[in-house]
Chains A and B, each alone.
Chain A
Amino acid sequence: QVQLVQSGPEVRKPGASVKVSCKASGYTFSTYDINWVRQATGQGLEWMGWMNPKSGNTGYGKKFQGRVTLTRNTTINTAYLELSSLRFDDTAVYYCARGRGWLEPTDYWGQGTRVTVFS
């Protein structure tokens, strides 16, 4: 069955960087984009960006351009989100979710990774 399994919780200080992983299984990794969505406590969903695992092409939400880097390792079917220059308001749960192109839904989601920015 399709699964996206994310790495564990992280705590960082302001100004630091964090890298979250998302390991895919149960399908051919290269055939679906990986999207990243975050959710602050008690808040809504916020789309951050996408990556095509086959080509490595990426797209980022305007708010995150310059601070987010999406990469992948196709040998281990894993996608990565790196967020730099962390601020207190980056404290959130970060989800990966697979989808086929910009117009299609994200049909499977990871369990989420909590990132806490704390001084």
Chain B
Amino acid sequence: QSVLTQPPSVSGAPGQRVTISCTGSSSNLGAGYDVHWYQQFPGTAPKLLIFRNTNRPSGVPDRFSGSKSGASASLAITGLQAEDEADYYCQSYDDRLSGSRVFGGGTKLTVL
């Protein structure tokens, strides 16, 4: 059971918009801590996709965007492409767990 809750899977057709939710609690997202998002392809290391809720590292397409409100956060992908098919993880900090980083359980995005 992950501290941050994500849907196990989402899907969408090419060109569509999909969102992935990340729900926390009063000890992590609800306490005001930022959320970061990672993209992971099979057999490879995760890659930072969104940091501090809404910011994209250099090189990440603007089709990817993030938002946060209270104890929830979302990753949105517009203009879905086949190459976006991957696993996505949210991550934050939890002050109930002695300085721990915490991850969501991950969401598998399937492009139909």
Chain B min CB distance to A16 (Å)? 25
Chain B residues packing against A (C-beta within 8 Å) = 2, 33-34, 36, 38, 45-48, 51-52, 57, 89, 91, 93, 97-106
Number of interface residues of A (CB under 8 A): 22
Told that A61-B97, A111-B45 touch, could you supply 9 new A-B pairs with CB distance under 8 A? A46-B103, A59-B98, A59-B99, A95-B45, A95-B46, A103-B93, A105-B52, A105-B91, A106-B48
Tell me the smallest distance from the CB of A6 to a CB of chain B, in Å: 9
Assuming the contacts A103-B34, A111-B45, asked whether A47 and B100 have C-beta atoms less than 8 A apart, the reply is yes
Task: List the B side residues contacting A111 at CB < 8 Å.
Answer: 45
Q: List 15 A-B contacts (CB under 8 A).
A: A37-B46, A44-B89, A44-B104, A44-B106, A45-B38, A61-B100, A62-B100, A95-B45, A104-B52, A106-B48, A106-B91, A107-B48, A109-B45, A109-B46, A110-B45
CB distance from A88 to the nearest CB of B (A): 20
Report the separation of the CA atoms of residues A35 and B99 in the bound assembly, to the nearest whole angstrom.
12
Interface contact B89-A45, CB-CB below 8 Å: yes
Q: Is the CB of A47 within 8 A of B34?
A: no
Within 8 A of B (CB), among A37-76: 37, 44-47, 50, 59, 61-62
- CB–CB A102/B101 < 8 A: yes
